[in-house]
Amino acid sequence: MIRPGHRTRKSVIALLGGIVALGLCAFQFGDRNELNGIPFTEVQPLVLDLAKAGRLAKRGNVDLLAGQAEPGEAVNLRGEVTDANCYLGSHVHSYDHAFCAKLCVAAGSPLLFIRDQGGEIYLVLSEKNGIRLPGNVLDRIGVPGIVVKGRVLEADGMRALAIEGLAP
């Protein structure tokens, strides 16, 4: 027969063990330096210094995928890069809209790629996390019929195109 006091002692020891384990996890995992709470305007300049961003993330124990290549199927697709705000809001795009699309993208609107054949729409990603799209691709926003080289990804019913650059 187990004494009632013995069960209580085991329960207390198990509870203390659980608390210690959680305490150790808190020291080993998570945002140690509150990096996730930094305002966007303070994070934005770090795009130009990914080494510094990496050091901050390591000290703060935060995952940083910047610089890593996107997976997916390699493709060359013909179509148009345009801004999501105008295309999804008013279905406006193409060459007559290029200046407006560039302005919207410069203000932070996401990019879309509209494929010439089939009209498939892809969310545009850069080839590597945290790396800007090539300037020659950004210069061609709103220009129909360009051919881009990249990788197609799909998650939860959404298609994305990680653009490496213009295809030769």
Tens digits of residue pLDDT in 94-141? 767 889 989 989 998 999 999 998 889 999 998 887 788 999 999 999
Give yes or no for a contact between 165 and 136, defined as CB atoms under 8 angstroms apart. yes
131 within domain boundaries:
yes
Residues 6+ apart with CB under 8 A from 50: 66, 67, 130, 131
pTM comes to 0.69
**Per-residue pLDDT reduced to its tens digit, 53-97:** 888 888 888 777 776 677 788 999 999 999 998 888 877 777 678
66 within domain boundaries:
no
Strand partners, 163: 126, 150
Split into its structural domains, the chain has a count of 2
Do residues 95 and 162 both lie within one domain?
Answer: yes
Do residues 78 and 134 both lie within one domain?
Answer: yes
Structural domain boundaries, residue 91: 73-166
With tokens 């990019």, the residue in question is 111
